Amino acid sequence: MDADTALKKCRALCARQERSKHELRLRLEAWDVPERNAEQVLLRLEKEDLLNEARFAEDFAVGHFRQKGWGKRMIQHALRSKELPERLITVGLDAIDDTEYRAALASLVRKRFRMERAPDKFIREQRVIRYLVGRGWEPDAVRLAIAGIPKR
C-alpha cells in the first residue's frame, strides 16, 4: 500500500476514535507500508492533530474507568501495553476525577457484596477484595471502601 492510501485510512481511523502511535504502527505494518513511509504518515497525523497521545491517554483512562469499571492499576497496565511513555500514562490517570473514582469504588463494593452469598463475612470480604483487585483497583482503597459500608 502506498503512503497516500495509508494516510487516508489512518485519518479515517483517527477521526472515529483516539488512537495511539503503537496501534497505528501495527496497522501500517499489517498493511505492508514500508517503515519509512509509516513514520511519515504518523508525523503527518501529529501535525494535523489527528494523532495526540496525551489526548489518547486521557480518553482511554477515563473511558475504561467509566465504561468498563477498571481501576487505575489495570488502566496503567493497559496504557503500558500501548507503549506510552510514563509521563503520558500519568496524564491519563490524572484525568480520572478522584471523587468520582472513590464513589465508583464504593458503589462496586456495595454491588459486589450484595452478590456474594457465602455465610461467613470474612469469606465475602475476601471474595470482594479479590474480584476488585483483579479489575485493577488498589487493595488498600478496596479495604477502605469495605470498611466504609455498613455491616450486616
Where residue 32 falls (left for φ over 0; alpha for ψ -120 to 50; beta otherwise) is left
Q: Diameter of the chain by CA atoms?
A: 65
Q: What is the pTM of this model?
A: 0.87
Q: What is the pLDDT of residues 10-37, one digit of tens each?
A: 999 999 999 999 999 999 999 999 999 9
d(C-alpha 113, C-alpha 16), whole Å: 38
Cα–Cα dist 51/44, whole Å: 9
pLDDT tens-digit series, residues 40-73: 999 999 999 999 999 999 999 999 999 999 999 9
Distance of CA 53 to the CA centre of its chain: 13
What is the number of alpha carbons within 13 Å of residue 138 lying toward its C-beta?
8
